[in-house]
Every structure is written in structure tokens, then in C-alpha cells.
Amino acid sequence: MKIAVLPGDGIGVEIVKQALRVLEVLRSDGLKLELEQAPLGGAAYDQYGAPYPEFTQKICRAADAVLLGAVGGPQYDTLDFQLRPERGLLGIRKDLGLFANLRPAVLFPELANASTLKPEVVAGLDIMIVRELTGDIYFGQPRGTRTNDQGVREAFNTMIYSEPEIRRIAHVGFGLAMKRGRKLCSVDKANVLECTGFWKEIVIDVAKEYPQVALSHMYVDNAAMQLVRNPKQFDVIVTGNLFGDILSDEASMLTGSIGMLASASLDANNKGLYEPAHGSAPDIAGKNLANPLATILSVAMMLRYTFNNEAAGSRIEAAVKKVLGAGCRTADIFEPGMQKLSCSEMGDAVVKAM
């Protein structure tokens, strides 16, 4: 199993370090792993002058899976758009064809009080958001800024989806629904945007191949509202790149901390990039305060989705549950009466639990 390891920026470095310790445990128990590190984002800009340089491209293309920390930092905010760390992330997604972004929002019962919502609203929450990741307004052409005929400056982007792009992500959504609660909610803005009206039409067509799945449709504004009103009505949500970006952040907070949420970005052959759903948190970077659990849980997703190793994936998840059950908490999920741990101490605890 060839894994490219991209710590990235900010807390990415600290959390990936803890995730690697988890992989080391699996290695010492016989799993054959080949790890290669490369920079992405700001770290890559500093070293190579580009956020997704050739050095990193080569390693990632040759790998079976990529483990990523996070990218970004205030020192890069004034750079040209093309050089920003975020461009590294968008670049690797596009380059590797990682069109299916799986963002589970699962509430560990131990953390029911960490949510800002009432425990009864979120207890038992288990949603899977399937976000299309390589199309939509994120990549649509034309894009840019210009001065129009009246001499007024303006900026524009293009929201666009092709039929094959919608079909393949719809299949991912239906496929996951089949393995879970057999409910799929497709989120669009079909009342206003042609692009997402087309999305809806294609999803309805794909649904014919999945008669056992109950398909529903929701406008994105309503979906944002329903996620906080009654999130347990959802099983799998499938949506485009932009809506998925927004709704997945919202869904993550239902679980108490974005520091708990893993994600997978898969290509057509289950090669995947695995990363926590959160960002690089420059404000706490280098302080050994970050929560490494989302990254550790991303390793569990990697084992499950790319390497078909359900046993190893479950083993990691069980270890995380165990440390939470024992009262171990990083600052972001801390409650009085619990044991407050640093990032590396949380890593120690998970390794020990494994």
C-alpha cells in the first residue's frame, strides 16, 4: 500500500504526525505500508514556489492513497490566486480526478453535549454528505475579472455541470444509500438555477437504477435550515461542489466539533485522498493543541475505501471511541470533568487503545 503523506500547513503538520503513529501500529502488526512525504499548499509554495509542485504531483500520482493534513495560512493570503495554498488542494483534486467527496457527519454519543444543538436533536446523528468535487462553479470556465462596455469593473464565475459528471456522482450517492438507510436527498437550487435544474433531472433518471432507494429533492436554502431543525431526517445527501462545501461545514458542527470529522475524496477506481474536514487553524498551529482525531479517522476511511481493509478501519474507529469513552478530550471538545489532552497526548491515547 503506497501512501503519499502531505502534512500541508498549520496544524496539518501536528495532526498528520499523530495519524502516522496510528499507521505505524498497523505496520508493526504486519500491514505492508510504503509512505512518502511531500509538501502541499503554503509549505510547497515556500519550498518550490507552487502550491502543488511537480515533485508532489509525481508522488501523489504514483500512490494508491493520499493522506493530507490541511493547507492555508494568513501569510499566503496576499499571494496571487494561482499561488495560494487552496489552489494546491483544488489542483490535486482535479489532477487525480477525485470527484466524489464523502463527508460523514457522525455524532459520537460521548460528545452529545459538545454540540451547540440540543442533545435530543443530534443524538444518534449519522449523515453522509456526498459532495461533487471537481466541477461546478469551482472549476467552470469562463471565470475572471474584466471591465465591461460601460467601463465598469466586474467579476464572474460559471456554474456548469455536464451530464456524465452528474451521473457518476449520483451513482456514488445511490450506492452509499444502498449500503446505509436507503434514503438519498439531492440538494439543488432548481427553482432559480438552470444548472441545478439539470442536476435534478439527471439524478431522477439515475434513480431508475435504484428502485430500493427513496429519493427526495431539497432546495439548498431549505436544506441548510433542515440540517439544524431536524438533521436526523437525512441519511445520504448528494449535491454539487459549492453547496456541498457549505452544507458539509454546517453538518460538521452538528457533531460538536469540526475537529472530529474525516473525509474521503475518491476517483473512479477508489484511489482516494483522505483529509480532516477542518482547515489549518493558523491560530493554534504549533501549539500542540489541535484535535488529531479527524485525521486519525481519515486513516480509518482510507483503509476501508481504498484498501478494502474493514478490520483495520474498524480497529481505529473503536480505539477513538474508547478514548472518548475514557474521557479523553482535546480543547475543542473539552467539557468540565473530562481529561484535557494535547494533540500528541491524544495520539498517545489512541495508539494505546489500539
Catalytic residue among 64, 95, 126, 249: 249
Size of the site for ligand IPM (CB under 6 A): 4
Residue 64 contact among ligand IPM, Mg ion, none, beta carbon within 5 to 8 Å by kind:
none
Closer to Mg ion at the Cβ: 106 or 341?
106
314 CB-near residues (< 8 Å, 6+ apart) = 300
Q: Counting contacts by CB under 6 A, is residue 245 touching ligand IPM?
A: yes
Start-to-end Cα distance in the chain: 20
Report the C-alpha gap between 107 and 117 in whole angstroms.
12
Residue 86 contact among ligand IPM, Mg ion, none, beta carbon within 5 to 8 Å by kind:
ligand IPM
Q: Counting contacts by CB under 6 A, is residue 86 touching ligand IPM?
A: yes
208 is catalytic: no
Shortest distance (Å) from residue 41 CB to Mg ion: 14
Q: Counting contacts by CB under 5 A, is residue 245 touching Mg ion?
A: yes
Catalytic residue among 46, 205, 221, 283: 221
Closer to ligand IPM at the Cβ: 105 or 215?
105
Instruction: Tell the residue number behind the cell numbers 429533492, with chain if given.
Output: 217
267 is catalytic: no
Q: Counting contacts by CB under 6 A, is residue 36 touching ligand IPM?
A: no
Residue 267 contact among ligand IPM, Mg ion, none, beta carbon within 5 to 8 Å by kind:
none
Closer to ligand IPM at the Cβ: 65 or 341?
65
Size of the site for Mg ion (CB under 5 A): 1
Q: Which stretch binds Mg ion (CB under 5 A): 3-11, 50-58, 94-102, 244-252?
A: 244-252
Catalytic residue among 9, 76, 188, 189: 189
- Kindly tell me which residue out of 4, 5, 22, 89 binds ligand IPM, with binding defined by CB under 6 A: 89
Report the C-alpha gap between 128 and 112 in whole angstroms.
18
274-304 residues labelled b (16+ CB within 10 A) or e (exposed): bbbbbbbbbebbeeebbbbbbbbbbbbbbbb
Q: Which stretch binds Mg ion (CB under 5 A): 46-54, 103-111, 211-219, 238-246?
A: 238-246
82 CB-near residues (< 8 Å, 6+ apart) = none
Q: How far is CA 215 from CA 119, 232, 338, in A?
A: 28, 16, 41
CA-nearest of 296, 285, 308, 277 to 346 is 296
Report the C-alpha gap between 331 and 82 in whole angstroms.
35
Q: Which stretch binds ligand IPM (CB under 6 A): 28-36, 86-94, 150-158, 207-215?
A: 86-94
Q: Which residue is nearest to ligand IPM (CB)?
A: 86
Structure-block grid coordinates of residue 146: 474584466
Q: Which stretch binds ligand IPM (CB under 6 A): 4-12, 84-92, 182-190, 325-333?
A: 84-92
Catalytic residue among 45, 52, 138, 274: 138
Q: Is 187 exposed, middle or buried (0-12, 13-18, 19+ CB in 10 A)?
A: buried
Residues 9-48 contacting Mg ion, CB under 5 A: none
Report the C-alpha gap between 63 and 275 in whole angstroms.
15
58 is catalytic: no
DSSP string covering 23-88:
HHHHHHTT---EEEE---THHHHHHHSSSS-HHHHHHHHH-SEEEEEE---GGGTTS-GGGSHHHH
Report the C-alpha gap between 259 and 279 in whole angstroms.
9
221 is catalytic: yes
Chain residues that interact with Mg ion, rule: CB under 5 A? 245
Chain residues that interact with ligand IPM, rule: CB under 6 A? 86, 89-90, 245
Residues marked active site are found at 138, 189, 221, 245, 249
